Amino acid sequence: MEEVLLTTNNLWMMLCVALVFIMHLGFSLLEIGLTRQKNTINILFKNIFIICTGLLLYYGIGFSLMYPGDFNGYIGFANFGLELPENGLTSDYAEGGYTFWTDFLFQAMFAATAATIVSGAVAERVKIQAFVLFSVVYVGLIYPIVGSWQWGGGFLEEMGFYDFAGSTIVHSVGGWAALVFVYFLGARYGKFKKGKSQAIRGHNLPLAVMGLFFLWFGWFGFNGGSVLSAQADLTSKVLVTTSLAAAAGGVSAALYTLFRYKSLDVTMFINGVLGGLVGITAGADVMSPAEAVIIGLIAGVVVILAVRLIDRLFLDDPVGAIPVHLFCGVWGTLAVGIFGEMAGLNQLWIQFLSLLIIGVFCLIASTLIVLALKYSLGLRVDQQAEEEGLDKHEHGMQAYADFGIQDN
């Protein structure tokens, strides 16, 4: 019976690995759809690079940094590479939820997501070498260290911090890095004129919508897999709360833009859905369906307000990565102390304090990495390269060469 249960749980977890992997296709489509065609190859290259190096880095050092075993609660390291435990393929490992190999793959998919968040925010003007090196350091070192504080049994877990599937550990960790990188990188040419933000339209909104649906699809594995077994009652509940929050986030964002700006903006609709998904991720297992709807409704408005704030600060985020992943990640994490089974002032304080600790650490780490790159390689391509497109200058090719589409 134990072997049957292990096989069933492991099959579900392997399916979730595939679903989270699909999210990288979603990110790719979303980013290219919301940016100009002359930078399509550059964005695709970055997204392929992230998953390839993310897997290798997480194999080499990341997994052992994030799950070091017995450690001081702040930083530890088990060993280079992967070393199969004696019980790694038995029902004694992870309470029979999955095998050691599945554990590694599932966590590796999460690790790569943090860098993908940054990719969209810095699109259309970052040097490929600078982004590559930033991703290597951030995915290889910073993300797993933060992850060890909670999911690896570190001091935040002992303090009582709760983050079911990563509103903070994954999304805000990537969001803080995106915020720092965007600040030092500067806005795209033409984004701000006479103190006002100018819209720079994406070249293919149908691709962006496809990206949204792939991301929503993949989130069933992102949140559903975070149950860490195929436990029927909890897994089905998580999928319900995840879906309801996503739907509510999209609806509230659409309605807010309609009443506030007299426009049904599909890009805001997209980011509202994503904001709802990020918002529910911290507490998808402890919320009722009604609470999930409330969290999603608030997240959809948070996204719109955050987009306005980012513009007023003269920060340029072409795909809305910072409003979605940072602001809604913060909201979702705080929501654990406001709604659901864990609600209470003490839990809210723990959630807030943990957010503060992680935020300060990520801001400092990101700043050090970005400044090191700025004063060595440089962060940004020159004006000619930006105006003519990164595809031509960084890669020597065009995404749509056979179709005769003109650059905009």
Contact indicator for 192, 322 with CB cutoff of 8 Å? no
- Note the pLDDT of residue 1: 76
Is 406's pLDDT higher than 80? no
* pLDDT surpassing 70 at residue 77: yes
Pairwise pLDDT comparison (40 vs 199), residue with the higher score? 40
As a whole number, mean pLDDT of residues 147-166 equals 97
What's the rounded mean pLDDT across residues 10-20?
A: 97
Averaged pLDDT, 187-197: 91
Mean pLDDT of the 284-297 span: 98
Which pLDDT value is given to residue 100? 96
Q: What is the mean pLDDT of residues 265-283?
A: 97
DSSP assignment of 308-371, as one string? HHHHHTT---TT-HIIIIIIHHHHHHHHTTTSSTT-SHHHHHHHHHHHHHHHHHHHHHHHHHHH
- Listed residue (42, 173, 68) closest to 111, CA to CA: 173
For residue 274, is pLDDT > 90? yes
Instruction: Please provide the DSSP assignment of 152-185 as one string.
Output: TS-HHHHHT---SS-IIIIIIHHHHHHHHHHHHH
The C-alpha angle with vertex 62 and arms to 61 and 63, in degrees rounded to 5, equals 100
Taking only Cα atoms into account, the Rg of the chain, rounded to an integer number of angstroms, comes to 20
Q: pLDDT at position 408, please? A: 53
Helix and strand totals (H; E) in the chain:
17, 2
Share of the chain above pLDDT 70, in %: 98
DSSP one-letter code for 382: -
pLDDT above 60 (res 405):
no
Is the pLDDT score of 115 beyond 90?
Answer: no
Question: What's the whole-number mean pLDDT along residues 79-96?
Answer: 93
Domains and CATH numbers, the chain: 2-220+228-395 (1.10.3430.10)
Distance CA 174, CA 138 (A): 9
pLDDT band at 243 (very low <50, low <70, confident <90, very high): very high
Q: Measured between alpha carbons, how far is 376 from 399 in angstroms, rounded to an integer?
A: 30
